[in-house]
Structure formats: structure tokens, C-alpha cells
Amino acid sequence: MLLAFVPARGGSKGIPRKNLAPLAGKPLIQYTLEAALASRTIDDVFLSTDDEEIAAFCAPFGVDIRYRRPPELATDEAPLMAAIEHGLHWYASERGRMPDDVLVLQPTSPLRTAQDIDSAVLRFRSQGAKSLLGVHAMVEHPYECVIAEADRWNYLVQPPQGITRRQDYVGKYYFINGALYLARTSVLLERRSFVIPGTTLLHEMPREHGIDVDTAIDVACAEALLRYAAR
């Protein structure tokens, strides 16, 4: 059984009341709810919130809103993993079992689609993976990025000699975009992380689907992408 875990606390720094902030005429969290409910692979959706208004908004979508995240797990400093663990144990006590797999869908990734979800889950299952991350190709290639230390700097990844054109760059470099975090529940609770370096499956998504909304500029970019997609 696959559980979609939607973390949606009431507080936020960059955008006040971010999860309910409007994006192209709809509250931000609605995009994630719609994608989760349209998915063919998700069996249940779990809302982790400390906020009554968020819970009330989600209720008409058919999401169980009885759970409330404790205040100490809803601060800016509280680690998400602690909130996931608390929510999973509450879910297990109510349903009589833990889900087999957990998929975290953060509302800050509004352009992630049901198709993105289903393709990731099917790949996760077909390859017998322990965990999976949503990624997209890096915009700024590491050959063009530098790291500064005191008064010195060096390339983040040293470009091979003789390469001058971007078309000739080698290697695949990805950005973990936060749109999809998927793991077997037993592995997640044991390791307390979705990321197992060298082992976690990387699932490439279209770059525009991985946009993370954290600032007003991000909202403008997401709205522009939605208009572009609707043309």
C-alpha cells in the first residue's frame, strides 16, 4: 500500500500562509491534492498539518483531516523526518498497519503531475528500489560553477581539457528538486532518510515540473509556466 504524505504546516517565512497562497487562482496546496487524487498508484493521502484553516480547505477533497501535527514539529527548525515519523505512527495506530511505501508530496511543487507520480512509482516498483528522488537536469552545468575559498576559487567539477562548447560536456548532473521523495516504509524508518547515496534511484522529471515555490518570484515563474503549458 502506497501512502502519499502531504506536509502542510501553517507557518512559512518566504510567503505568508504559503500553502494557501494563491497561484493562478488556486491555493498552492490544491495542485498537490489534485495530482495525488488523480494518481493511479497512490492508495491513500495523509495530510500532516497543524493548521485548522488548511485542514478545512482540504476536507472537501476527501482527505482525512483528523490528524494534527504537534506544534513542536511544525516550526521552521523542526526536521521534516520527525514529522513524518510522528504522522506514520498515528496512521498505523488508526489503520492497524503501516503503509508499505511512503511518497512525500510537498505542496511547494505545484507543477508536479499525476503522470510524474505514476511514472516514478512504477519505476520504483519495477526496479525493486529502496528509495527514489525526483530530479531534473541542472540548469547551471557544474563545469561552469565555481567554489570560493578565502581568496581562491576552483571549478565545482574540473572541465576536461579541450572542451569549449556546452554541446561537448560529458557526464549527467542532476538537481534534487523536492517534488518526489519515495521510499519503502521499513527502510525510511530504519535510516531516517530518503537519500541513500549511490543507491537511491534518481527519477528524471521535466525541469519545469520540478519548480519549487518559496518566494514571490517563484510564484510568478510558476504562473508563467502554467500559462505556457495552457497555450
As a whole number, the mean pLDDT across the chain is 93
* Residue spans per domain, the chain: 2-136+173-230, 139-172
Question: What pLDDT does residue 211 have?
Answer: 94
Residue 21 in contact with residue 220, Cβ under 8 Å?
A: no
C-alpha–C-alpha distance, residues 140 and 200, integer Å: 23
CA atoms of 218 and 226, how far apart (whole Å): 12
Per DSSP bridges, beta strands 131-137 and 2-7 are unpaired
Specify the CATH number of the domain 2-136+173-230. Answer: 3.90.550.10
pLDDT at 86: 98
Q: What is the pLDDT of residues 132-189, one digit of tens each?
A: 999 999 888 888 889 998 889 988 888 887 666 777 777 788 999 999 999 999 999 9
CA distances from 152 to 129, 140, 159, 161 (A): 41, 21, 17, 21
Residues of the chain with pLDDT under 50: none
Q: What is the DSSP string of 99-138?
A: -SEEEE--TT-TT--HHHHHHHHHHHHHTT-SEEEEEEE-
Instruction: Report the pLDDT value the prediction gives residue 164, as an integer from 0 to 100.
Output: 67
DSSP-assigned states of every residue in 13-52: SSSTTGGGSEETTEEHHHHHHHHHHH-SS--EEEEE-S-H
